[in-house]
């Protein structure tokens, strides 16, 4: 699904990414973690085609990302960011319908009858009760759920997440990630997620990549990567790492500095 080879990125005199190479297979839930400023979001923008690749190569479905038009990509690739909703004044249902833009003809008509799809998504994400409410009247958690509904309406085979839970409380964080994992498992969706919370990354991702100072530090399973020693090396603080009592994936407990 994704192949990245020797990817570099510079901003003026500063090199942000250095020789990034990795692959993601169809149906994976692949997490990208690392400290602030390590280049994670920049990497996601390059992979998704939002920014042009100047040094290195990015292949999506065995074709260079630059060979696709923006509208072609939008028919099977969706990106969910921290705050990706349109300006105020649109209702929840109108925002969800915006996800069908890639499938509209030059008259603005959807090439498929998408009303049933929109209805199903609104119901699945429990948006029915405020489908006619404008988005500025929603809470942060509700707004992010609407943003997820919008990308679901695109019916992508590849979903990219840029820290989608950053501004959510723990209840909404789990709800959001549960929705995404359920969708991923039902449809063999490939997910690439930049995540700030290491515990969430370990719970939901099948594989992780640590990006540190613009380089690939390590790639592996959560059990292989989330260790006290590695976290101390990358993040500069040594946590206590324990197995989750139910899922048995590693979870970290922070401890004050000595």
List, as own/partner pairs, every contact residues 64-73 make where C-beta atoms lie below 8 angstroms and the sequence separation is at least 24, other chains included. 71/102, 73/48, 73/49
Q: How many residues in total does the chain contain?
A: 258
Cα 41 to its chain centre, rounded Å, is 10
Q: Which domain holds residue 98?
A: 91-155
Residues 6 or more apart in contact with residue 216 via CB below 8 angstroms: 20, 21, 22, 209, 210
Q: Identify the CATH number of the domain in which residue 201 sits.
A: 3.40.50.300
pLDDT at 85 over 80: no
Within this chain, do residues 119 and 65 fall inside the same structural domain, yes or no? Answer: no
Within this chain, do residues 62 and 99 fall inside the same structural domain, yes or no? Answer: no
Q: For residue range 189-224, what is the model confidence (pLDDT) as tens digits?
A: 999 999 999 999 999 999 999 999 999 999 999 999
Q: What percent of the chain has pLDDT over 70?
A: 95
Domain count along the chain:
2
Within this chain, do residues 135 and 163 fall inside the same structural domain, yes or no? Answer: no
48 pLDDT band, cuts 50/70/90, is very high
Whether 36 is covered by a domain: the verdict is yes
Q: Which of 155, 187, 204 is the last residue of a domain?
A: 155
Q: For residue range 10-46, what is the model confidence (pLDDT) as tens digits?
A: 887 788 999 999 999 999 999 999 999 899 999 999 9
Whether 100 is covered by a domain: the verdict is yes
Whether 246 is covered by a domain: the verdict is no
pLDDT recorded at residue 199: 96
Taking residue 94's Cβ as centre, other Cβ atoms within 10 Å add up to 15
Whether 69 is covered by a domain: the verdict is yes
Whether 247 is covered by a domain: the verdict is no
Structure tokens at 218: 């390590």
149 pLDDT band, cuts 50/70/90, is very high
């Amino acid at each position: 699904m994704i192949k990245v080879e020797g990817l570099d990125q510079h901003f003026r005199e500063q090199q942000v990414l250095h020789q990034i190479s990795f692959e993601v297979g169809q149906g994976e839930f692949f997490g990208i973690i690392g400290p602030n400023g390590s280049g994670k979001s920049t990497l996601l923008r390059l992979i998704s085609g939002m920014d042009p690749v100047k040094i290195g190569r990015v292949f999506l479905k065995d074709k260079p990302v630059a060979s696709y038009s923006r509208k072609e990509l939008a028919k099977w690739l969706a990106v969910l960011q921290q705050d990706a909703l349109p300006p105020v004044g649109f209702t929840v249902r109108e925002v969800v319908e915006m996800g069908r833009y890639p499938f509209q003809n030059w008259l603005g008509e959807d090439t498929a009858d998408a009303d049933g799809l929109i209805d199903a998504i609104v119901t699945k994400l429990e948006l029915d009760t405020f489908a006619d409410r404008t988005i500025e009247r929603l809470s942060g958690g509700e707004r992010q759920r609407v943003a997820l509904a919008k990308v679901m309406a695109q019916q992508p085979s590849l979903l990219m997440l840029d820290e989608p839970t950053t501004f959510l409380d723990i209840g909404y964080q789990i709800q959001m990630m549960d929705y995404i994992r359920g969708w991923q498992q039902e449809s063999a969706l490939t997910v690439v997620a930049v995540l700030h919370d290491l515990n969430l990354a370990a719970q939901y991702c099948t594989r992780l990549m640590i990006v540190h100072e613009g380089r690939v530090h390590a790639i592996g399973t959560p059990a292989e990567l989330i260790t006290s020693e590695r976290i101390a090396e990358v993040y500069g603080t040594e946590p206590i790492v324990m197995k989750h009592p139910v899922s048995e994936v590693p979870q970290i407990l922070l401890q004050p500095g000595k």
